[in-house]
């Protein structure tokens, strides 16, 4: 890995001014120039590598550099291929590349050698429930008369990535049935997905599914038998469940590039209903990942000279760290002979650890799922290169579930995915390196980030500034200014797609904003950052509400918050800022329609300015609520038509108290994942932020 990571050239139109030299990246025809370089893992330039960008072909020069003039698009897919190296794919948005002068950090290609195998792992998968019966008046994704086509459309953007692997695996967290199976387990949430799900996974390049999870027995024997029947008809291999304990604990064995691999899957608990979800001697279900079962089954495979890969379903939903039970079981699996451990269930990502030279991924998050809790869409695909039973390298491909569909994460979504994984992994001694827009893990961490500095320019009435265009792999080490009375704090954004730049990319819309249910639409007529915002045409005295479709389920109670947004109006306009919560015992359907809206603040504008930055502060409730959302009620006061634009609608949860300049805040869970910095008052002088 390059020991001196390139400093991304930063050009935030609002706040961040870079010292990088600006180069021309657009010609007289309107084409843009995407530049970068290709190297191998020893940092040697790779010449004459074929590069395809959105169907247009180029080659690297003798120094491994490329300079590609292409027509501007919202999304650029780059595919690199050359003899004796694994093909690589990376995806970037136009908006994020404009923030770095259209230059991409060096991308490393991995050499093909005898005995080396590339695995690709994804997280939780289901195609039931809201895919066919969506909430919030969203469009149906899987129609009854076009299931084959619709299920493939869900995985189409991940197909290029998964197809590169020698073996690709996901957690199939659903039963498979043409219709709802006859028996239903006595539990609150059960899943079944159409048989076309398996065909779509095959088409996307998936080779193996683990069934060791808490939804494999949702419809008991009838659902399990249906699932196994359809799997036997498919080309997908599986492990982790069966009609009895012996079958459930049986490994799938497969020779890949000369190495015999064994794949085992487990669920971490038996379930609190009767009959429970795990297999026994005379009952079907998932393989129970008890300590004894793990030791016995892993030891059996290791003794038979199988390179063993364990997939485990456990820990607690939506948490940043694995439970100690999960950690101990995964480490015990490695102590018993496993060569890699991949875990899931929390529906959010957790960090990595290298334990006894073996890779542990504590939570993969979602891969295909219908949740929208604002924290669950950020995920990843994990590439792992194994030399027989030895870890060579792993690479994190950031993924964003957009409208329940997995897509390559770009821009603010890439930053969110990789920043979280990097910080959580560092707590376990793993520092992610960088290859283009991906993160890198090696058995021996040798990634050293160089120091860099950015400058925030003081802006009228603004105290809250985004950090998405800084380098995700670097940490803030100092904040300084000539404004000596200034203090600062760090926070994270709790809403997704708040800049609206990626709203309609990948042929699927965001489902986190109520654009489908309101008078607002995406527009390119006017914007603060990038080129997109949301727009509404208000009639005389009309009121229009813009806000979060769903409640934010994962948040810290009794935390200071700031709603930061930019608004542009034609004439006199009133804006009411509300928070609305779902109380602990409220049904979701009741809360979303009828829960009380709590007024935070009312502001008025007269339309005399172009864009105006608004910041509204409030605290989340201490007790009594399980989730909340924000709403902006916008009312025309002019008595005439009124055009309203909104851009950069951010909900910032502060994760450190105010600190003096030249003094870093005390670290706690999350504050190093900062995507925003806020000040106690409007800065009067430039702010210098140092990173390493």
How does pLDDT run across 295-354, given as a tens digit for each residue?
Answer: 999 999 999 999 999 999 999 999 999 999 999 999 999 999 999 999 999 999 999 999
Helix (H, G, I), strand (E, B) or coil at 279: coil
Average pLDDT, stretch 462-472? Answer: 95
* Token pair listed for 412: 């603010």
CA dist list (Å): 605 to 140, 372, 618: 39, 33, 21
C-alpha gyration radius of the chain: 25
Greatest Cα pair distance, the chain, in angstroms, is 81
Inform me whether the pLDDT recorded for 238 exceeds 60: yes
Relative orientation angle of helices 196-203 and 147-155, to the nearest 10 degrees = 40
| 599-617 tens-digit pLDDT | 999 999 999 999 999 999 9
CA proximity to 218, closest of 198, 195, 190: 190
CA–CA–CA angle 12, 14, 20 (5° rounding): 30
List 440's β-bridge partners, or say none.
395, 433
Name residues whose C-beta falls within 8 Å of residue 28's C-beta, 6 or more positions apart in sequence: none
Q: Which residue has the higher pLDDT, 665 or 30?
A: 30
List 209's β-bridge partners, or say none.
170, 238
Phi-psi region of 415 (alpha: psi -120 to 50; beta: other; left: phi over 0): alpha
CA proximity to 161, closest of 379, 383, 343: 383
List 379's β-bridge partners, or say none.
399
Name residues whose C-beta falls within 8 Å of residue 145's C-beta, 6 or more positions apart in sequence: none
- Dihedral of the alpha carbons of 266, 271, 273, 279, in degrees to the nearest 10: 20
| 10-50 tens-digit pLDDT | 333 333 333 333 345 777 788 999 999 999 999 999 999 99
Inform me whether the pLDDT recorded for 4 exceeds 90: no
Average pLDDT score over the chain: 93
Q: For 441, what's the count of Cα atoms within 13 Å in the CB-facing half-sphere?
A: 28
Q: Which residue has the higher pLDDT, 595 or 460?
A: 595
Helix (H, G, I), strand (E, B) or coil at 80: strand
Relative orientation angle of helices 324-335 and 291-303, to the nearest 10 degrees = 20
Where in the chain are the domains? 31-108, 116-441, 454-691
Cβ atoms 670, 578 nearer than 8 A = no
| 488-543 tens-digit pLDDT | 999 999 999 999 999 999 999 888 999 988 999 999 999 999 999 999 999 999 99
Could you give the percent of the chain with pLDDT greater than 90?
A: 89
What pLDDT does residue 187 have?
Answer: 94
What is the distance between the alpha carbons of residues 321 and 574, in angstroms, rounded to a whole number?
43
What is the distance between the alpha carbons of residues 51 and 540, in angstroms, rounded to a whole number?
54
A 10 A CB-CB count for 258 gives 10
Phi-psi region of 684 (alpha: psi -120 to 50; beta: other; left: phi over 0): alpha
Average pLDDT, stretch 263-268? Answer: 98
Per DSSP, the chain holds a count of helices (H) and strands (E) of: 10, 44
Percent helix, strand and coil across the chain, each rounded to 5? Answer: 15, 40, 45
Which residue's structure tokens are 């109380």?
583
Q: Which fold has domain 116-441?
A: Purple Acid Phosphatase; chain A, domain 2 (3.60.21)
Local confidence band at 666 (pLDDT 50, 70, 90 cut-offs): low
What is the distance between the alpha carbons of residues 314 and 151, in angstroms, rounded to a whole number?
27
What pLDDT does residue 213 have?
Answer: 98
Cβ atoms 322, 349 nearer than 8 A = no
Total length of the chain: 692
Q: Dump the DSSP string for 329-376.
A: HHHHHHHTTEEEEEEE-SSSB--EEEETTEEEES-B-EEE----SSST
Burial degree of 303 (CB within 10 A; 0-12, 13-18, 19+): exposed
What pLDDT does residue 22 have?
Answer: 36
Local confidence band at 669 (pLDDT 50, 70, 90 cut-offs): very low
- Dihedral of the alpha carbons of 681, 683, 687, 689, in degrees to the nearest 10: 20
Q: Does domain 454-691 have CATH number 2.60.120.260?
A: yes
What is the distance between the alpha carbons of residues 445 and 432, in angstroms, rounded to a whole number?
8
Cβ atoms 176, 227 nearer than 8 A = yes
Q: Which CATH architecture has domain 31-108?
A: Sandwich (2.60)
Go through 192-222 and write b for each residue having 16 or more CB atoms within 10 A of its CB, e for each that does not.
bbbbbbbbbbebbbbbbbbbbbbbbbbbbbe
Name residues whose C-beta falls within 8 Å of residue 292's C-beta, 6 or more positions apart in sequence: none
Q: Dump the DSSP string for 476-541.
A: EEEEEES-TT-EEEEEEE-SSSTT-TTTTGGG---SSBGGGGSS-EEESS--SSTT-EEEEEE-TT
What is the distance between the alpha carbons of residues 152 and 277, in angstroms, rounded to a whole number?
30
List 16's β-bridge partners, or say none.
456
What pLDDT does residue 447 have?
Answer: 81
Strand pairing class (390-402; 378-387): antiparallel
């Amino acid at each position: 890995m390059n020991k001196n990571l390139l400093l991304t050239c930063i050009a935030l139109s609002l706040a961040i001014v870079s010292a990088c030299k600006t180069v021309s990246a657009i010609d007289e025809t309107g084409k843009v120039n995407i530049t970068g370089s290709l190297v191998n893992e020893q940092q040697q330039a790779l010449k004459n590598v074929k590069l395809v960008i959105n169907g247009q072909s180029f080659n690297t020069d003798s120094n491994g550099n490329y300079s590609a003039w292409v027509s501007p698009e919202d999304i650029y897919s780059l595919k690199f291929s050359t003899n004796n190296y694994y093909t690589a794919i990376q995806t970037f948005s136009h908006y994020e590349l404009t923030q770095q002068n259209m230059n991409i950090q060096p991308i490393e290609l991995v050499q093909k050698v005898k005995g080396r195998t590339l695995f690709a792992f994804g997280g939780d998968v289901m195609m039931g429930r809201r895919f066919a019966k969506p909430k919030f008046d969203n469009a149906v994704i899987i129609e009854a008369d076009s299931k084959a086509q619709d299920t493939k459309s869900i995985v189409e953007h991940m197909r290029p990535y998964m197809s590169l692997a020698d073996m690709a695996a996901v957690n199939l967290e659903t039963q498979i049935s043409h219709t709802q199976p006859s028996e239903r387990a006595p539990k609150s949430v059960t899943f079944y997905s159409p048989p076309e799900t398996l065909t779509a996974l095959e088409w996307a390049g998936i080779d193996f599914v683990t069934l060791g999870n808490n939804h494999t027995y949702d419809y008991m024997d009838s659902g399990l038998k249906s699932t196994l029947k359809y799997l036997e008809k498919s080309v997908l291999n599986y492990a982790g469940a069966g009609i009895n304990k012996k079958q459930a604990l049986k490994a799938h064995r497969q020779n890949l590039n000369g190495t015999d691999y064994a794949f085992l899957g487990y669920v971490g608990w038996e379930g609190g209903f009767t009959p429970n979800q795990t297999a026994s001697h005379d009952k079907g279900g998932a393989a129970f990942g008890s300590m004894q079962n793990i030791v016995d089954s892993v030891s059996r495979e290791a003794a038979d000279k199988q390179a063993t890969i364990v997939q485990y379903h456990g820990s607690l939903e939506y948490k940043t760290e694995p439970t100690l039970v999960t950690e101990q079981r995964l480490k015990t699996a490695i102590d018993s002979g496993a060569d890699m451990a991949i875990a899931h269930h929390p529906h959010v990502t957790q960090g990595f650890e290298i334990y006894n030279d073996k890779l542990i991924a504590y939570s993969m998050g979602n891969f295909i799922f219908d949740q929208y809790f604002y924290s669950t869409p950020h995920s990843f695909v994990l590439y792992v290169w194994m030399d027989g039973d030895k870890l060579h390298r792993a690479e994190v491909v950031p993924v964003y579930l957009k409208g329940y569909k997995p897509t390559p994460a770009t821009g603010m979504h890439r930053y969110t995915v990789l920043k979280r994984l990097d910080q959580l992994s560092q707590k376990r001694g793993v520092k992610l390196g960088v290859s283009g827009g991906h993160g890198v893990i090696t058995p021996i961490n040798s990634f050293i980030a160089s120091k860099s500095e950015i400058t925030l320019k003081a802006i009228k009435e603004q105290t809250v500034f985004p950090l998405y265009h800084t380098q995700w792999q670097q940490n803030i080490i100092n904040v300084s200014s000539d404004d000596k009375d200034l203090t600062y704090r760090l926070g994270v954004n709790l809403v997704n797609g708040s800049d609206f730049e990626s709203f309609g990319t990948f042929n699927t819309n965001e489902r986190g904003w109520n654009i489908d249910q309101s008078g607002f639409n995406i527009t390119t007529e006017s914007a603060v950052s990038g080129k997109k915002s949301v727009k509404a045409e208000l009639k005389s005295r009309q009121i229009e509400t813009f806000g979060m479709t769903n409640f934010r389920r994962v948040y810290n109670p009794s935390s200071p918050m700031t709603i930061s947004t930019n608004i542009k109006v034609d004439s006199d306009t009133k804006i009411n800022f509300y928070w609305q919560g779902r109380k602990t015992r409220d049904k979701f359907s009741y809360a979303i329609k009828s829960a009380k809206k709590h007024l935070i603040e009312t502001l008025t504008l007269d339309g005399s300015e172009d864009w105006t930055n608004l910041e509204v502060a409030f605290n989340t409730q201490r007790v009594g609520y399980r989730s909340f959302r924000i709403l902006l009620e916008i009312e025309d006061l002019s008595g005439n038509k009124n055009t309203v634009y909104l851009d950069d609608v951010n909900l910032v949860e502060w994760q450190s108290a105010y600190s003096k300049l030249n003094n870093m805040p005390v670290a706690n869970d999350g504050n190093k994942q900062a995507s925003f910095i806020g000040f106690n008052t409007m800065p009067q002088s430039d702010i210098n932020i140092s990173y390493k």
